[in-house]
Structure 1
Amino acid sequence: MKRYVSGAVIALFLLAGCGITYVNPEVGLRNTTANVEVVEITTRTVQIANSAPYTPMSLPQVFYAATGGGSTSGNVGLPAQPFVPNEQRQSANLRLPPPVDPGPYEIGVGDMVLLATKAASSTVEELSGLLAAQNQRQGYTVRDDGTISIPDVGSVQLGGLTLEEAEAEVFQALVEAGFNPAFSLEVAEFNSKRVVVGGAVAQTALVPITLTRLDLGEAVAAAGGVTVPDEEFALIRIYRDGTLYQIPYEEYLSNPDLRNTTLLAGDAVYVDTTYDLDRALQFYEQQIDVISLRQEAQAAALDQLQTEISLRRAALNEQRDNFLARTELGAEARDYVYLAGEVETQSRFPLPYGRQATLADVLYETGGFEVETGNPREIYVLRPSSGGDTVVAWRLNASNAINLVLATQFEMRPNDIVFIESQPITVWNRAVSQALPNLISIARVTENN
């Protein structure tokens, strides 16, 4: 005889649950020994929650270090490629060297200095050698090591000194040697710093740089002036530290400021035309070898710098990789926030280094919450109070999407628990899904009996 299970029996079974129905976790005062205080998240309470002190952990200093640095000397390039002659003449543009301040004259190797002393008899007797040199107009040439040799006094270092600094050195040397330090010092011949002028000038000249600055007009005048058949296409070229500058001759004549261009030791001035540079090329050939040597030295310095930077970068990367490996293995301390309830994945969220994380960061970095099963009215952040005797449940009602703005303002703290309750229908569905297989089994047993 078959028996059928009535709807009342099924309902009774569901209500009783036989101890197997779904138990839904929720935030409340039941089934807990902790004191729970539920606080709604509002614009005012967000400020209270964020007042809890917390300083985010910082990355090791190695993540802020850079591998750059260092510099190379001898930044020299070859002269600009000269104009290639063609059937038509072409005028050139003005390219001035940058303004420079040569500073006070510094005595160099090859300069001759003249030391003059008092002509008193006592001085003659004590410094007969010095006076004899003066009377014969014989000075002292600065030697390769930058010194001059004064009889009965010795060597005095003058190379690289201004005239004022050199006078102080000579004064000190005379005093230490026991001589009357009444003297005057002047540079009689300027041989250490010169500018060469060549090309379409009256005569090639080596123009010395003296105590006063040397300008372009003086250098050209010292070479006898410019001699070109056609001033329209004449150029005054200045070759300095591997760079070729040029001044059209007509502009040079019409603009006094161009004639006042300051020249430096080692400059080469060449006058030519834009359509005939044969002599200019010959003039520069002797400079190219020197520039090539400088470039080789620069290349070696760059290789050395690149090697040093590569070693620094490798060391930094090794330290960074070691830190990341320790972090993955859990050997480095981290601050975490834990996610539970109806979230995409029940997991823990590491708080970032160097900045604050918000509730929105935690929710949406991990995929957000389950919109089908999660209750947007019941989003909680569970946080123990400072004394540890109370758990504050900060509740966010996100049924109105406007309140999600509060989630972007609510700052997280280590060991916070983000919990989202289930929808009421979700609780019922899960209870039914657990009970239904048992009901079917019971119904079949009853029917068979």
Structure 2
Amino acid sequence: MRNPRPLRMIPDRVFGQAFGRAMAVMLSGLALTLAGCGSAYQSTSIREGIVDGTKVRVIALTPETTLAANRQPYDPRALPEAFRATAGTHGSMARGLPAPAHLPEQRQGLPATRLPPAIQPGPYQIGVGDVVLLATKAPANSVAELSGLLAAQNNRQGYTVQDDGAIAIPDVGRVRIAGLTLEEAEAAVFQRLVERQMDPSFSLEVAEFNARKVPIGGAVANPGVAPVTLTPLTLDTALAAVGGIAAPDRDTAVIRIYRGGELYEIPVTAFLRTQSYQKLRLVDGDTVFVDSDYDLSRAEAYFSEQLALQGARGAAIASLGQEIDIRRAELEEQRQNFNARLELGAEKRDYVYLSGEVGKQGRWPLPFDQSATLADALFDQGGIAAKTGNPKQVYVLRGSPDPREFGALTAWHLDAGAAAGLMLATRFELRPNDVIFIAQQPVTKWDRVISQLTPSLITIPLDNLTSN
């Protein structure tokens, strides 16, 4: 019987070299084969020129080119007017609508204008605290006879209307004039002089208006009161009397007027551009508050304080609380309606799209009423993928706004690998349908190719590598 052939031992060094050469040949062959049949990993790339019929222009982002890109006209989508109105019977009163957490600083909507009804209070009525000036003839003498006017001026005396509504005139007595017009007060004084058998020659005028006034507070230069005089008091005159509006942001400020248990509102922007709002007539008992806050708490506190100072009863203050509660309920209903429509996709939105090596691919909604930047969208979606993304290859792809250039595409290229590039990202404004793309690191591409190739190596018999 023939002895079996002894096994041939292969040195480890020789085996390693052979395995390495075989592996290299195998990888090269498989890479060529897979690439030829389209199976190898294909990475999206951005290059200038004509690509698949589309003219691509790559522009590096610099401070100058960022300004040029931002000049493209764009009106951010506004909050729908229908959803600024409330469902209550008091008119459109909704303030802002809260943004979902992922939306960048959404500007809130202003309330619709709600004016108090037109009122004609009639002639001024003298009230408690007013000071009237009574001028009578001086005792007969040569000087007085020369000029009755001079004599009258020498006997001008001011009288304050007391709590009982009367003034006390020496030698005449108390004359009740509160609640009377100036003409009616003159008639009352005349009648009392005749009864006392005194010379009824006199003049009467209101020197100080203290009885009827409109308190004004909130975001004004000098909160205080504007007196109601013989001349009608208008809203612009009243605000001027306290130094004017001093709200830090007039675009979000609102003028609130509380009258007779009802709350009325005028946005400051509407007030400034509408003359009829400026000439709105105020009356005694009105309270004005310039509000720069979306919450009604400050306005409620101010109105309650003024009611208390005016001696209002508990019922009046309770009525104010009910009015504020109605407004808050309307605001809450509006917020819920708007949020429900957002969740159901019933509100039209503008989007940008994120692709490539970003933290989270998908579409990102542009905010209402203001622009968003590249940094807003990028970092809200997780930023650049730390392991695979190439911060030097960040692109914003934007189609031409000219419909005649449908096939034209601009790729704004940002190098975010430096601090200056990151700052430019906070200045570059996005437009609807922009596509944000981040290229992959070179090593990432090779790693992904290898990950596709290595499974096929597992099926290769080891004997094939060691034969011959």
Whole-Å separation in 1 of the counterparts to 2:386 and 2:130: 77
Secondary structure of the structure 2 residue equivalent to 1:379: strand
**Per-residue CA distance 1:101-133 (angstroms, 9 max, x = gap):** 6322679999799xxxxxxxxxxxxxxxxxxxx
Secondary structure of the structure 2 residue equivalent to 1:426: helix
Secondary structure of the structure 2 residue equivalent to 1:425: helix
* One-letter code aligned to 2:43: N
**Per-residue CA distance 1:175-205 (angstroms, 9 max, x = gap):** xxxxxxxx95446899xxxxxxxxxxxxxxx
**Correspondences of 1:12-23 after superposition (within 5 Å):** 12-17=29-34, 19-23=38-42
> Which of 24, 33, 49 lines up with 1:7 in the alignment?
24
Cα distance, 1:356 vs. partner?
A: 1.7
Whole-Å separation in 2 of the counterparts to 1:443 and 1:31: 43
* One-letter code aligned to 2:79: L
Cα distance, 1:30 vs. partner?
A: 6.8
Aligned to 2:79: 59
Instruction: Say how many residue pairs are matched.
Output: 267
Aligned to 1:33: 53
Whole-Å separation in 2 of the counterparts to 1:212 and 1:408: 63
Cα distance, 1:389 vs. partner?
A: 3.0
Aligned to 1:402: 420
Task: Return the TM-score normalized by structure 1.
Answer: 0.51
Aligned to 2:130: 102
Cα distance, 1:336 vs. partner?
A: 1.1
Whole-Å separation in 2 of the counterparts to 1:300 and 1:416: 58
Cα distance, 1:332 vs. partner?
A: 0.6
Structure 2: gaps of 5 or more residues: 1-17, 85-93, 97-108, 115-127, 133-159, 197-203, 208-307
Secondary structure of the structure 2 residue equivalent to 1:334: coil
Secondary structure of the structure 2 residue equivalent to 1:320: helix
Secondary structure of the structure 1 residue equivalent to 2:446: helix
Q: Which protein shows a greater Rg?
A: 1
Cα distance, 1:368 vs. partner?
A: 0.5
Identity of aligned residues (%): 41
**Correspondences of 1:287-306 after superposition (within 5 Å):** 298-306=313-321
Cα distance, 1:296 vs. partner?
A: 10
**1:42 equivalent in alignment to 2:53:** no
Task: Return the TM-score normalized by structure 2.
Answer: 0.49
1:163/1:310 Cα in 2 relative to 1: closer, same or farther (>3 Å)? closer
**Correspondences of 1:131-150 after superposition (within 5 Å):** none
Whole-Å separation in 2 of the counterparts to 1:419 and 1:362: 12
Give the conservation status (yes or no) of the 8 Å contact 2:130–2:206. Answer: no
1:304/1:443 Cα in 2 relative to 1: closer, same or farther (>3 Å)? farther
Give the conservation status (yes or no) of the 8 Å contact 2:27–2:453. Answer: no
Give the conservation status (yes or no) of the 8 Å contact 1:107–1:163. Answer: no
Cα distance, 1:347 vs. partner?
A: 1.5
Whole-Å separation in 2 of the counterparts to 1:416 and 1:166: 75
Secondary structure of the structure 2 residue equivalent to 1:441: coil
Give the conservation status (yes or no) of the 8 Å contact 1:359–1:408. Answer: yes
Secondary structure of the structure 1 residue equivalent to 2:459: helix
1:161/1:373 Cα in 2 relative to 1: closer, same or farther (>3 Å)? same
Whole-Å separation in 2 of the counterparts to 1:365 and 1:376: 16
**Correspondences of 1:26-425 after superposition (within 5 Å):** 26-28=45-47, 29=49, 32-59=52-79, 61=84, 62=94, 63=96, 64=109, 102-104=130-132, 160-161=179-180, 164-167=183-186, 184-186=190-192, 298-387=313-402, 388-425=406-443
| Bigger shift: residues 302-311 or 29-38 | 29-38
Aligned to 1:441: 459
1:159/1:6 Cα in 2 relative to 1: closer, same or farther (>3 Å)? closer
Give the conservation status (yes or no) of the 8 Å contact 1:108–1:159. Answer: no
Secondary structure of the structure 2 residue equivalent to 1:19: coil
**Per-residue CA distance 1:303-352 (angstroms, 9 max, x = gap):** 22112211211111101110111011111111111100000000111112
Whole-Å separation in 2 of the counterparts to 1:25 and 1:110: 89
1:159/1:408 Cα in 2 relative to 1: closer, same or farther (>3 Å)? closer
Cα distance, 1:381 vs. partner?
A: 0.4
1:43/1:211 Cα in 2 relative to 1: closer, same or farther (>3 Å)? closer
